[in-house]
Amino acid sequence: MKDTLSPLRAFQERLLETLNPEHRQQGHILDQHCLWQDDAFNEAALELAFLQGQANPHFGALLDQNRSGHGSLAHWHQIPCVPTHVYKAFEWSCIPEAHRTSVFHSSGTTRRQTSRHWHSELSLQLYETLLLAWCREHLPWGNGTSESGACIFLTPEPGRTPHSSLAHMFATISFALKEKMTSRFLGDLSPTRQWTLPMEETVRVLSGLDRPVHVFGTAFLFVHLLDYLSREDRQLTLPAGSLLFETGGYKGQSRELSKQRFHEDLATALGIRRERILCEYGMSELSSQAYDLEVHSSMHPEPAGRPRYFRFPPWARVRVISPETGSEGGIGETGMVHVIDLANVWSSVSVLTEDIAVRQHGGFELLGRLKAAEKRGCSLLSADLA
């Protein structure tokens, strides 16, 4: 039987080698990363697509069907789209069952089938290393000069939500910072396993700080906090130099606000400048994350009013593609987010998300996640049946 794992393992090692170990702990090291080069990225992406086609018969068949096996694909743009839905319908993994140690599910209601992104010790090692490398580029503790002494996560303790990639991400950050900063997870789980926030305790913790804090949470948990503060007619003032890390969307678990309104409300309610709110874009089906702002330190704030676009690390590229033609539109055009993620060594290098975005110079502006076909008529849609 053909060994399809060793080549993927070798690919992973080469990918990790692209990060200079001396710089991994310091941040601001990726400007010269070799995968920013088109040629290098292209070669790596095509190689990974080929290797995954060998290891995953579903993807192999797709490549065959597109008559685009190894050699015939000339550019990473030609790698076929793999919609996130396949993570629900198929065992979309290159990791043999015996090697799987954990699985991340997409968040969703319990009535719906969720995505399954399997991981092994090896794949998690890659995930965590690359996650921290790109995160350090955007957070003030990257160069070890953070003034902050604490991280507060509004999510439940990671051990209580083993299948959440977001919880794993936060746990990874928390672990990486344990020498420098204290971490605290304030979130809880409802009887139906929804993420909740004990409000009184959260407000007590956030209002009793004397040093800058990093507060990590999902958009809907932040909205719950905003609603609570509004009901209680309270405002907080986080210490100068604090930062909010917002991700994960609303998931139908809170009212939804425009991004601008949301950030304005957060800034007012928590006493923090809008420029100190960092947004992350990620999902359980991907291993890389995009950030919309570089927050370096209180000495170097981002100028207010600068457009904020999401940007992936050098080992992932995004195309905002026209759903009609499948090709990438021009700057300012709206389309679907298609990510080629080299960090997804063990699952799918190509991920067609259900997100709609506008292509911008150097990144993309997220418009939102697709719920169902936009309706103009009265026919029932799958969302109505869920």
Partner 1 sequence: MDMDLPNYFIADLSTENTPSREMLTDACLTLKRNRQRYLQARSTASLIRTLANVAEHWTYPHYPIRQYTFEHGPSATGFPSTTLEKGLLDFMSEITEENLQALIEQDLGHLRRMDEPCANASDRSGQRMSLALGPELIMHITAGNLPNSVFSTMLLGLLSKSSQLVKCATGTSFLTRMFAHSIYDTDPKLGACLEIAEWPGGEDDLEQAVYAEADLVTVTGSDATISAVRKQVPEDIKLLAYGHKVSACYISKGALQGFGFRALLNRAVDDIVAWNQLGCLSPHVIYVEENPELPPIQFAERLADYLKDREIEEPRGPLSAKQAAPIAARRSFYDIRAAHTPGTFCWKSEGSTDWTLIFEEDPLFQVSCLHRFIYVKRVENIQEAIGGMEKVHGKVSTIGLAASPTEANELVEVLAQWGVQRVCPMGSMQKPPLCWRHDGRPALADLLTWMDWEI
In this complex, which beta carbon is closest to partner 1, that of residue 227 or of residue 302?
A: 227
Q: Distance between CA atoms of 353 and 355, rounded to whole angstroms?
A: 5
Mask: binding to partner 1, 46-85, rule CB under 8 A, as x and -?
-----------xxx-xx-xx--------------xxxxxx
Binding mask 283-322 for partner 1 (x = CB under 8 A): --------------------------------------xx
335 binds partner 1 (CB under 8 A): yes
C-alpha dist (Å) from residue 181 to 87, 153, 155, 216: 36, 13, 17, 14
Min dist CB 218 to partner 1, Å, is 23
- Distance, in Å, from the CA atom of 126 to the CA atom of 9, rounded to the nearest integer, reads 10
Contact present, 350 and 45 (Cβ < 8 Å): no
Residue 33, sorted as left (phi over 0), alpha (psi -120 to 50) or beta, turns out to be beta
Answer yes or no whether residue 331 interacts with partner 1 by CB under 8 A: no
Is residue 381 part of the contact set for partner 1 (CB under 8 A)?
yes
Rounded-to-integer distance, Cα 237 and Cα 240, Å: 9
Instruction: Choose between 202 and 353: whose C-beta lies nearer to partner 1.
Output: 353
CB of 244 to partner 1, least distance (A): 29
- In this chain, which of 31, 39, 210, 384 binds partner 1, going by CB under 8 A? 384
Window contacting partner 1 (CB under 8 A); options: 2-10, 32-40, 277-285, 330-338: 330-338
Report the half-sphere exposure of 338 (CA within 13 A, side-chain side).
21
Stretch that binds partner 1, among 14-22, 132-140, 235-243, 349-357 (CB under 8 A): 349-357
Q: Which stretch binds partner 1 (CB under 8 A): 71-79, 179-187, 239-247, 333-341?
A: 333-341
Backbone φ/ψ region at 326: left (φ over 0), alpha (ψ -120 to 50), beta: left
Task: Single out the residue of 174, 252, 264, 181 nearest to residue 218, CA to CA.
Answer: 252
d(CA 164, CA 169): 9
Binding residues for partner 1, rule: CB under 8 A, are 57-59, 61-62, 64-65, 80-86, 89-90, 321-326, 334-336, 352, 354, 356, 367, 370, 372-382, 384-385
